[in-house]
Structure 1
């Protein structure tokens, strides 16, 4: 009889913003290989701890497993975000099932390590058990692998070192993870790896008392586990080798179309090493994937192997590496000197807004590029290095960039002359000076007046019967670590603010292109007549357009509108804090997207009457006159957001 494989309760950790199209992962039935959807009911939106009375708002689904579903959850009193594993009592009704959950809680809550998902607390009510865990916002290695298929050796070293650090800690405490796989390695905002999901973890037993249960994920099971010889630290090492192979080669080493054949390959250690692997990588894998557990490399021997000792390991990976090949270069003395000189000359000015760790930039080319930016770009603030929503452009080498090089940026005037000369016969040219500071100043005044005079209220005033026609950002993507910030407007036009300060937009029908060299130099021409100098940026713009159309969801239910005969909106500023994204446009529209619950607030001025549109977490939109809010007040939920936006605008006004 073929042994069964048991999945951990938290099999997948599916994270993502409201921009991502929802995915529906499946789970493997413990008694068969067929795919079955979990049958758990949706928990209520508000979760209350019966013991403390503390309330939590349940957010989007993060992942599904055999026993549980995991959701984003926010503590309503502190606004702290967690990943909460929700386990219905009906799924653990049998004593051994409940014992399994209790064992997971007991093991995990005592673990305190930099590279292990932090256990916060747990409680239960009449329907469910709730386990609150550290929220890792950059998904898991499974998601990175799905986007990338293979990783570079320096990246693999980066992740493996962190996994090994966690494993050494676990094994020292006598704990075996027993389900090491890509989906159980989570990545936080700072690109730090965290080992999670201790649903199958167990304390190490003496050899003659080893648990003979076959558990884990089929492709990562060690031979001794399949042969019912018990699970030891060496079995975790075997799984680690399978993880390394998968990241480097693109598929697990023993994966076949038939589970029985996979088990046969594991028992006989039958796998192939692709010729593309380096010799150190091949030798390390052969030292890990050995049939006899006692002959396998230990964790210390793995770290001492030349794969690690003679290979470059980056101190940190850029967030863009979640979906695209990063540009990784070993330390270069000449470059290091250049970085020091540049920081000495230009690195003294600091923003008054405190940056989140993810917003710290160490790309020297960006520092130099920043010196050459136009007046639009000088007003920009804190672009986080977070280009984690795009894959590399087809046929583009990692070193190539469609934006201008540092040398090209040294003369905006010559570029302007070149563009003007090339497009003289095929484009329209407009001069339209835009002042972002004036828009911010106006918004600050309106908001201060509204918040200082409005009476207390428990609900919002009546929403306008029909939505006023204004354009808003329905989709966006931050790829500023390489190219720039892209967005799609509700009228289906696409825009990109490039890192060099130039702006390009594409009409909804993809037939007309608008290009802004500075905030007062605007060119308009047919897409079929894009000058050679702009072909690189045009390629990026088109790629952004295709990506957002295929992969991102519209952020609300506001109607789409077409505005023929008008100049396109120009993105003047975009600011990312640790709580929200703010975008300011040339027509005075101000949009703020809040990460935590995906709500949005949009300021617009049709006919010079300031309107506020609020899109709630369910993507339903409501539009109010600002004067009505000032007169009648608004709900505490909206008031908190307005106060935050005012504070953010005041900080921008002081920059």
Structure 2
């Protein structure tokens, strides 16, 4: 078989892909990303119209016999697994150029992108995801499979916000009781000490990785992460990590059990499922898609969950007992069964107090900067601009493309009525927002029922459109006006997401500030996303500092997302480079101007909605 050289022209993957053995035809669709030897695309079965993820590997890259064997083993192991929390395997085939693996499509990407956007998650969310990861790993271990590469990037999320374990490239089967594997494999931040020390390993390496995953989700960074590989490995071998004080006692205890240096002392999957952290705290049955970008709100659900165990005292922030709901649905004030304790507060009480605190209108304060990542974004963009990306010798934008970094939320419609009231806008998920001239905000979620009112000091209040306090009357009326106006007059820039169960827990980013120049409108959201819509040619750029990415929507409405660091390395065409230069100037303007004065000093002053437009 011929080897593939860099200077050889790369064979284009056909638009219509045929399985030679069955005659089944697939339409190659959207590029989903690349990793290892594979490139991934959406594949549509032309007969049934079902959409899958296609993992496509060029045969020219599978030169060595070990590479072919590794691929065969991945297929053999993956096709033998069938579980709700394992990426579905739908078949494989090959033609003269490529091997094609047809897999379940997980549109919400992976826990890695969630982690990058959110950093630390709340305990209820972490518990929700961990339960599903454990369910999938139990299926693997029951079938004598060790994954050996469990990490956030291999835990995929579907439309229903369910986790699916994928990528079995490093997986292995245990041939007999007590067999110890010897291969050095894994990802640096998640690799178990017994693999590093070449002591032989088994199922316990997956448990170690689950410990690293739990820590990363709760703390916001991996436990052994350092600047160099050598130092990371040293810390893993010495079992050196620090759990911050803000982590609850039950979570802390479980992390310590999982990250035991001695593999024989780690719990198995069943023991983790039964752990106090998993059973004593609030476990949401569903999560809203909005939690991919912002912490959900957990209201009275958290405090009422205590009824699943003997009821304990859970107090409101002012010290008064909350109302708790008994199993029969009746309400009871204050405390029910008090568990005797010799050491003051029990771990169960502490856990419930922690969940109760997360149940308030405001989620726990995160480490987000007060400028909503503007400084970070300025540094990232400046770096690209200074590299003169459009002057590079061999520009290769394709290398920089990364669909995994596509923005979750952007502004799809807006109408400027700032001379009287403020700016109304619709986000791509169909939620509506108004940034009023008095710097308060009102948001209507995509379900059309739940509204969030945000005061000037950022205090949040949650109501329903059919039941809200009288002082909000005028603002709700204006919100309805903006919604109706945009629905009647404006086209939508993107496909919407349908409301689903669990979306009542949603919190969405709001518009932090905006201003207009002669050539564009600049919109800055509270999750750090900066969007610039250019008036003349209707192009747009959406910048995300958390993902380090830019999405460019050109005049033909082609939608492509690039990593900023890669554009710096591989370059880009002049039209994108010019827009990045413009963005840098606008970010500078945002940084030197207080957001509270910006829009009023630069906004338009017309008596009618100014330039109502699709974003």
- TM-score normalized with structure 1 length: 0.53
The answer to whether the 8 Å contact 1:138/1:191 transfers is yes
- Rounded to whole Å, the distance in 1 between the matches of 2:486 and 2:286 is 38
Local SS of the residue matching 1:165: helix
- Rounded to whole Å, the distance in 1 between the matches of 2:245 and 2:202 is 32
Deviation at 1:277, TM superposition (A): 1.1
Deviation at 1:281, TM superposition (A): 1.2
Matched with 2:312 is none
Q: Deviations over 1:271-308 (max 9, x none)?
A: 11111211111111111111111111222222222211
**Which ranges in structure 1 are unaligned for 5 or more consecutive residues?**
1-35, 342-380, 420-429, 440-470, 487-495, 497-504, 514-526, 528-536, 572-584, 586-590, 592-655
> How do 1:9-408 and structure 2 match up within 5 A?
42-206=12-176, 209-329=179-299, 330-331=301-302, 383=446, 396=458, 399-400=460-461, 406-408=467-469
- Rounded to whole Å, the distance in 2 between the matches of 1:242 and 1:319 is 24
Change (3 A) 1:401 1:120: same
- Rounded to whole Å, the distance in 1 between the matches of 2:14 and 2:254 is 49
Local SS of the residue matching 2:285: coil
- Rounded to whole Å, the distance in 2 between the matches of 1:77 and 1:227 is 52
- Rounded to whole Å, the distance in 2 between the matches of 1:158 and 1:436 is 36
Matched with 1:16 is none
Deviation at 1:402, TM superposition (A): 11
Local SS of the residue matching 2:230: helix
Local SS of the residue matching 1:180: coil
Q: Deviations over 1:584-632 (max 9, x none)?
A: x9xxxxx9xxxxxxxxxxxxxxxxxxxxxxxxxxxxxxxxxxxxxxxxx
- Rounded to whole Å, the distance in 2 between the matches of 1:312 and 1:118 is 29
- Rounded to whole Å, the distance in 2 between the matches of 1:89 and 1:325 is 43
- Rounded to whole Å, the distance in 2 between the matches of 1:182 and 1:41 is 32
Change (3 A) 1:436 1:169: closer
Local SS of the residue matching 2:543: helix
Local SS of the residue matching 1:550: strand
The answer to whether the 8 Å contact 2:40/2:55 transfers is yes
Change (3 A) 1:335 1:125: farther
- Rounded to whole Å, the distance in 2 between the matches of 1:332 and 1:43 is 54
- Rounded to whole Å, the distance in 1 between the matches of 2:462 and 2:287 is 19
The answer to whether the 8 Å contact 1:475/1:554 transfers is no
Matched with 1:602 is none
The answer to whether the 8 Å contact 2:509/2:527 transfers is no
Local SS of the residue matching 2:468: helix
Deviation at 1:102, TM superposition (A): 1.0
- Rounded to whole Å, the distance in 2 between the matches of 1:249 and 1:383 is 30
The answer to whether the 8 Å contact 2:291/2:507 transfers is no
Q: Give the length in aligned residue pairs.
A: 405
**Which ranges in structure 2 are unaligned for 5 or more consecutive residues?**
1-5, 305-322, 331-443, 534-540, 545-550, 559-603
Matched with 1:557 is 556
Pick the structure with greater CA Rg: 1
Change (3 A) 1:413 1:268: closer
- Rounded to whole Å, the distance in 1 between the matches of 2:456 and 2:76 is 49
